[in-house]
Structure 1
């Protein structure tokens, strides 16, 4: 049997066998210890976080583009319920963003403590080039950047090596249709993204060590406020779902929660709404008793577009960072955040750690520095699971709304 070149072996396999959240917790713990031990000398350890963010920023536009294209190409939207499905998905996402912006404006978590950009490494003398800085500058800010007039040969080489290795895993995949071509391109980008996700614990270690070493524990008060605000926003979104289920469907909210609890637990434990799709569908059909068309439209088709928890998180993150900087986002800028969050959330269900990927686009839309995303890496592993559970709960709600106020034949 031919060995799959994408299958990790050796040390990498053992590293990936450890759940990501455990790796991040270890990174936080080691970062705390290192920061206290090194003090201000830990400032240079912020470089791994900046490296991860630079690559995420470069991958975000093509990832979102291809994810949306693939989601639209593969979605089987037919029949009279297609337009209703689109309306429900759009409404739920807009409500989620509104709740996120409302909570962020009321709670003002960014005002709990003022923080600055993670400390940068000390400047080197102009006479001696810093090898780490040269390596960092060689990484392109965008996929197309190295191919412009201002691009560098090192950037082209970096992209060529990354795609060359990633494409080895799909080199035998036949490309007979446009859908096949999109699939190959998206698969290769996701393979590269997996490598970056492997670096997230290292980035968390560096950013925690640099902040603790230079500024102490005070700055993490703001992060605590942000976590509380996001959890509050997600709770309000869940209440909105249950209210709609109670008023507009035949399903009782408590019975619904009991019937889909396996899907919600799986969504929280895996952090992937895509991996949870089969379980969600089974729960809706067997435990809740929805019609087949309603369950499949909401749980299978709708899940490719419905990422309410992620959209809420993106909006709140942008306002949180703006508050940290003492910036005031106007209503127009907040509308831009909302619009970008909606677009970025479409098709994001199949992207690993989608929140981190799409957040770079949302920040750039309102000229917020993406360096601040590094702070959010320390708590993202928890909030990612919470918002994924809300994403699945949104799929469940849409399925119930499509099923209507009258219970159908379980065999339908």
Structure 2
């Protein structure tokens, strides 16, 4: 007896009702068990992770492109204050990436253990057909790939089906302006991304099982060191924020943390700076007492571009995986990580599981295998909340810096 559409929708709704971090933890736990039981035979279980990361790699560039376009079109920028905002955002992001690279190079958590880079799938003997390999090859590496001279019909069909189903939800949306067109395109891509996120726990299960089966628990020992290194990096970034607030604004750092603690707690609990945005603006106006322009530009406009915690995390992740695989990233490659992380962090706002999406671009920029992104997901549920709180703290800091050293007692929220 086949399940009906209503039953399938009900199962999907119940699946999505479980917090993502719990699903990921369950997938990681089952993966550990499967890896121990199956040993080297668990290697084929990594295929779901490879498929998920292949699709994410294809989605990342257009997602970031459209997210930046939409943010720029909707942002209300103008005057000298706007240029100051851009300067502050860029400076904070570069400092965050610098902190991340400094801590990763100093601590070198990936050097606690090393493993061999994942080898390419073995080719079958002549005449043999591997259905899984055929399925993997049918998934395009980029959205535009299937339309090139070397594209395949299967890739075109894959994209057509995905967008056809995703666009059903916005098929009645009127497109009158360029902004409407960008909105529809971004909405359809985010819909597809939600489907991918739904199967991320399965990918985590597969990659954990295959890594444990091949290398035991050595990689996860290094992962614990990586978590501590990231938390140290985020703490240093917070100290940088507090130093700037103390030296360049009228606001007192300890009082600021007390006044905005509700927004920080909400950011940590939800893992979304976008959801926290209205509360961030409210506490800046009512609790801190910033001017309306400063609070709105920093918390509402700046939050679309300010993702310092995400940028720091992605830079550290790239170095960690390189250290884990015994690969040395030159200064030039680390500079490439900086540039890619800046661009990726700008496009991260408004994208669910933004770090997962944009990290594929950072890894590919320095030729790192994206397979290990799935392993990072086992601890990402916690680090995501920590870096989201830092993202919001960055918005708060920018708002205070825009307000300056003089308090306006006549402009209270």
Q: TM-score, normalised by structure 2?
A: 0.95
- Measure, in 1, the Cα distance between the counterparts of 2:331 and 2:135: 40
Is 1:93 the equivalent of 2:93? yes
Counterpart for residue 264 of structure 1: 264
Counterpart for residue 78 of structure 1: 78
Counterpart for residue 151 of structure 1: 151
Counterpart for residue 234 of structure 1: 234
Equivalent runs, 1:333-344 vs 2, <5 Å: 333-344=333-344
Contact 1:70/1:182 (<8 A) preserved: yes
Counterpart for residue 411 of structure 1: 412
- Measure, in 2, the Cα distance between the counterparts of 1:212 and 1:162: 33
Distance 1:177 1:154, change over 3 A: same
Counterpart for residue 303 of structure 1: 303
Is 1:322 the equivalent of 2:314? no
Equivalent runs, 1:7-26 vs 2, <5 Å: 9-26=9-26
- Measure, in 1, the Cα distance between the counterparts of 2:42 and 2:121: 9
- Measure, in 1, the Cα distance between the counterparts of 2:332 and 2:134: 38
Per the TM alignment, residue 372 of structure 1 is displaced from its structure 2 partner at its CA by 2.3
- Measure, in 2, the Cα distance between the counterparts of 1:170 and 1:36: 46
Per the TM alignment, residue 138 of structure 1 is displaced from its structure 2 partner at its CA by 0.6
Contact 1:44/1:122 (<8 A) preserved: no
Contact 1:119/1:210 (<8 A) preserved: no
Contact 2:44/2:210 (<8 A) preserved: yes
Contact 2:117/2:325 (<8 A) preserved: no
Query: Residue 263 of structure 2: SS of its match in structure 1?
Result: helix
Aligned residues: 406
- Measure, in 2, the Cα distance between the counterparts of 1:118 and 1:232: 29
Query: Residue 219 of structure 1: SS of its match in structure 2?
Result: helix
Counterpart for residue 401 of structure 2: 401
Q: TM-score, normalised by structure 1?
A: 0.95
Per the TM alignment, residue 71 of structure 1 is displaced from its structure 2 partner at its CA by 0.9
Higher mean displacement: 268-277 or 325-334: 325-334
- Measure, in 2, the Cα distance between the counterparts of 1:349 and 1:132: 34
Equivalent runs, 1:245-284 vs 2, <5 Å: 245-284=245-284
- Measure, in 2, the Cα distance between the counterparts of 1:298 and 1:331: 33
Equivalent runs, 1:180-259 vs 2, <5 Å: 180-259=180-259
User: 1:387-407 deviations in whole A, cap 9, x for unaligned?
Assistant: 111100000000011111111
Query: Residue 141 of structure 1: SS of its match in structure 2?
Result: coil
Contact 2:73/2:179 (<8 A) preserved: yes
Per the TM alignment, residue 88 of structure 1 is displaced from its structure 2 partner at its CA by 0.5
Equivalent runs, 1:44-193 vs 2, <5 Å: 44-117=44-117, 124-193=124-193
Gaps of 5+ in 2: none
Contact 1:27/1:204 (<8 A) preserved: yes
- Measure, in 2, the Cα distance between the counterparts of 1:110 and 1:219: 8
